[in-house]
């Protein structure tokens, strides 16, 4: 089957309840800069992937596999995948 | 005016043309793991912010200001803001 190029975005975030010291540091820095009313900041990662696949579903399956094996630490992180 | 809590997502990515060694390393690692057909990987950052603001427009303005001052290095990075 012919392969097409798909653009995907994978977002990896810390699970709820997992401490995010980087996010806390940003909260503190925003407060120091005079930004009021910040309740919380959590930092995550985003991966923009261009890949060959036979279909959108195939691309999603491959990306989930990549997340499990490399892109996310599934003990403490959740991932979401958007293809299209 | 009464303030409400808004949830926002700020995505910060390297501008096109800016070298992304981290993305290249991930491409190499995915290749080593046997993933074929990866054309490119670019890594960025995502910030999930909960904040008080009087309106969605006010929240967007504040977030853009945060990006300019702290969250993004606008020389090499672009940012996008989603409130709601």
Distance CA B6, CA A80 (A): 21
Strand partners, B50: A40, B7
Farthest CA pair distance, chain B: 56
Check if A1 contacts B (Cβ < 8 Å): no
Q: Which domain holds residue A8?
A: 4-83
Q: Please tell me if residue B68 touches chain A, with a CB cutoff of 8 Å.
A: no
Beta-bridge partners for A78: A13
* pLDDT for residue B1: 73
The domain that holds A77 is classified in CATH as 3.30.1280.10
- Other Cβ atoms within 10 Å of B76 Cβ, number: 13
How many domains does one find in chain B?
Answer: 1
Closest-CA residue in chain A for B4? A37
Cα separation of A42 and A59, whole Å?
A: 28
pLDDT in tens, A4-44: 999 999 999 999 999 999 999 999 999 999 999 999 999 99
B8-23 pLDDT, tens digit per residue, is 999 999 999 999 999 9
């Amino acid at each position: 089957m012919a392969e097409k190029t798909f653009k995907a975005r994978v977002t990896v975030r810390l699970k709820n309840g997992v401490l995010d010291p980087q996010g806390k540091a940003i909260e503190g820095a925003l407060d120091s800069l005079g930004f009021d009313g910040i309740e919380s900041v959590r930092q995550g990662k985003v991966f923009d992937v261009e890949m060959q696949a036979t279909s959108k579903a195939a691309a999603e399956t491959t990306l989930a596999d990549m997340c499990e094996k490399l892109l996310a630490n599934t003990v403490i992180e959740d991932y979401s995948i958007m293809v299209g």
